[in-house]
Structure 1
Amino acid sequence: MKPLFGAALLAATVAAHAAPPKLEWRGISLSSAEWGEKLPFPGTYGKEYVYPSVASTAYYQTKGMNLMRIAFRWERLQPALMGELDATELGRLREFVDGTTARGLHVLLDPHNYAAYRGHHVGKPEVPYAAFADFWRRLALQFKDNSKVQFGLVNEPREMPTETWAEAAQQAVTAIRATGAKNLITLPGNGYTGAWSWFESKWYGTPNADVMGRVRDPLDNIVFEVHQYFDKDGSGTNVECVSPTIGVERLQRFTQWLRDNKRRALLGELGGGANPVCEQVIRGALEHLKANADVWTGWLWWAGGPTWGDYFLSLEPGADGKDKPQMRWLQPYLK
């Protein structure tokens, strides 16, 4: 090998010391517009459910967040399968999306439906694949001209074969791209899309690791969306985290799967109770993402929104304007 001199030596030195890739996304899942599904549906706006205000996103933007995931219900937006989108509900969603992206933030659309419509899962006779694809075709047509809008196919598919979900997802991706939309798409896995259960083979059918890689986007502008909590059962319903190292432990195998399969992912939900162990867990998890930014695109805290009250995972500031304890943990990763 010939020795390097001059410009060639300089270029090689710069490449060798180039800064590692950075996580592009950091943000929060805003929850409230999907509430009320257990009451007489669709419920009363302003009582059973409400959209977050555009103004409320200023708090998170000031902290350094750049992505807001907005949850809503498929049934409210499209009252009849294959039918027109409801103008009033679409107007509420558009008001939030247009106002938030005008602030310079990005918005991830989140039909918070678990891959079901009025209790029937996609792929069943009551909700054929074509209906899910039609919904996304209509939604893509509404937002495809806003490059700051991202399309999250659905929240946490469950209670269905993984193969069924993969087919539904593929048809939705195909329908989205047929509209001319170039927006980023996030693709969840089956079985609540847990990173730690990506290789599970007992309780939700064929593992995501064996199936979900088949879903393809002709524009290659798609990332997997996984969720991860660190309590005993991984549900995010318990204040206590298992151990200080559980964050890395529950992410590292999925991280390797991404690298092996040349795919990327967004950690679409994470969270932990306000205690020292969970603080170590969250910091460890975010350090892991940072160290593997070649395959991780970023993260979203669960949750924010105007109706959580004293919910232990809420980052919404109190009436006194004070930060929740977990915001202090996140600050080093919001710069």
Structure 2
Amino acid sequence: MLSLKATLLFAASAAAKIYYAGVAESGGEFGVYSATATNGTGLPGTFGVDYAFLNASTVNIWVDQNKINTFRVAFLLERMCPLQYGLGKRFNETYFSHFNDAITAITAKGAYAILDPHNYMRYNDPSQQPATGSVIGNTTDPAAATTAQFQAFWNELAGRYKGNERVIFGIMNEPHDMPTALVLQNDQAAINGIRASGAKQLIIAPGNGYTGGHSWTQSSQGDAPSADYLYQIRDPLNNTAIDIHEYLDYDFSGTHTICNQSFAANLGPLTAWLKTYQLKAMVTEFGGDNNTMCDAYLTDAVEYMADNAEYIGWTAWAAGPIWGTGSPCCNSGLGLGSLEPGSRASDGSPGLYYTVWLKVLEKLVPKNLQRNGMSSLNGAAGVKGVKGYSG
């Protein structure tokens, strides 16, 4: 007979379900960095030179060979909504068209696409992000975009995708150094805008402090804990999850080769908070280096999510078509390549696709991911949605 402890562990495991697993695609936000913080550098930029969203030829590799079902696709607000227009409903249609080509390539293959404005809850100066740009909704900054403009932006973008059931709306990448109450205000405005468009798909909402899971219940950068505010989010369709990032190096930055931070040790308070408020989460950024130490930490991280019913998905950081030998994660300044299929390190050796993805992560991709139906907290059965794609 099973002990009570074993029975409870079995029940928790049986209830856990990862619906979405895959990779973040980084590149649509590239090409704007300026060593002198000169605003406007690389804007609007040249597609295929300064920025690119996705190598469409890799979608078949990821889905057919690596068996993932989710791609998180980064874009830049200042390119989607040029500075001369301001944040809102008016888009650079050329940039949107290239972005839409990437989303179409993913969803036509039967995978899910997370739309990721990679702006740190800032708009108007991406020249040295995450440090530059005015905080959206900051009423003391006359240059800042308003919360109403942010809502209008999401209403327009969601309206364009409301018929594509394989889209997931990622409200914002890594808000930080701002009042947590304002993060909640902007998140809620985005949800309101998305739902007003008629879109029913899954939304994922970030917290403050770079939406770090380890600091969810703690003050971060002098601001109130995300846990004190984010439970107040309201979605009329109850189809919003919490967006979490969590790296494995000593300062949780994802910049060092040594892994020494455990998901189980650091995410316990977050997981308890999710359980208390009956919320779910996706970890849309995590990663590690190509060494034996990180192999174990990465394995433990994915297994932790699989073992806890509060987590419904993950995307590893990061692939993308224009990384070259550069590393998006955990490199301590070394050119180790990226998770992009075919990537190479600066010395010509296999890149992180081979040494991290194929070696460690691929075997941890769940066999029964969601393959059909509208994106939802509860898989394909969670929301009755509209079939087809509206463009």
Q: Give TM-score, length-normalised by structure 2.
A: 0.77
Task: Check the 8 A contact 1:191/1:204 in 2, yes or no.
Answer: no
What does residue 302 of structure 1 align with? 317
2:188 to 170, 173, 177: 170
What does residue 35 of structure 1 align with? 30
Structure having greater relative contact order (Cα 8 Å, sep ≥ 6):
2
What does residue 53 of structure 2 align with? 51
Q: Distance in 1 between matches of 2:267 and 2:323?
A: 28
Q: Distance in 2 between matches of 1:16 and 1:188?
A: 29
What does residue 10 of structure 1 align with? none
Cα shift at 1:208: 0.2
Q: Partner letter of residue 354 of structure 2?
A: K
1:247 counterpart = 2:263 = yes
What does residue 86 of structure 1 align with? 92
User: Structure 2 matches for 1:203-282, cutoff 5 A?
Assistant: 203-242=221-260, 246-282=262-298
Query: SS of 1:284's equivalent?
Result: helix
Structure 2: unaligned runs, 5 residues or longer: 1-9, 35-40, 125-132, 330-337, 345-349, 368-391
What does residue 120 of structure 1 align with? 134
Query: SS of 2:71's equivalent?
Result: strand
Q: Partner letter of residue 281 of structure 2?
A: A
Cα shift at 1:78: 1.2
Residue by residue over 1:54-94, the C-alpha shift from the partner in whole angstroms, topping out at 9 and shown as x without a partner, is 22222211201100000000111111223511111111111
What does residue 378 of structure 2 align with? none
Cα shift at 1:216: 1.1
Query: SS of 1:58's equivalent?
Result: helix
What does residue 325 of structure 1 align with? 355
Q: Distance in 2 between matches of 1:174 and 1:17?
A: 33
1:109 counterpart = 2:125 = no
**What is the number of equivalent residue pairs in this alignment?**
318
Q: Give TM-score, length-normalised by structure 1.
A: 0.90
Task: Check the 8 A contact 1:122/1:165 in 2, yes or no.
Answer: no
Residue by residue over 1:176-225, the C-alpha shift from the partner in whole angstroms, topping out at 9 and shown as x without a partner, is 10111101100011110000010121524110010111111110000001
| Between 318-327 and 107-116, the greater mean CA deviation after superposition | 318-327
The structure-2 alpha-carbon separation of the partners of 1:273 and 1:184, relative to structure 1 and needing over 3 Å to count, comes to: same
| Between 177-186 and 251-260, the greater mean CA deviation after superposition | 251-260
| Between 81-90 and 162-171, the greater mean CA deviation after superposition | 81-90
Residue by residue over 1:237-257, the C-alpha shift from the partner in whole angstroms, topping out at 9 and shown as x without a partner, is 1111126xx232122221111
Structure 1: unaligned runs, 5 residues or longer: 1-14
1:74 counterpart = 2:77 = yes
Task: Check the 8 A contact 2:22/2:315 in 1, yes or no.
Answer: yes
Q: Distance in 2 between matches of 1:180 and 1:73?
A: 24
| Between 196-205 and 278-287, the greater mean CA deviation after superposition | 196-205
Residue by residue over 1:80-124, the C-alpha shift from the partner in whole angstroms, topping out at 9 and shown as x without a partner, is 223511111111111111121010010000000001111111112
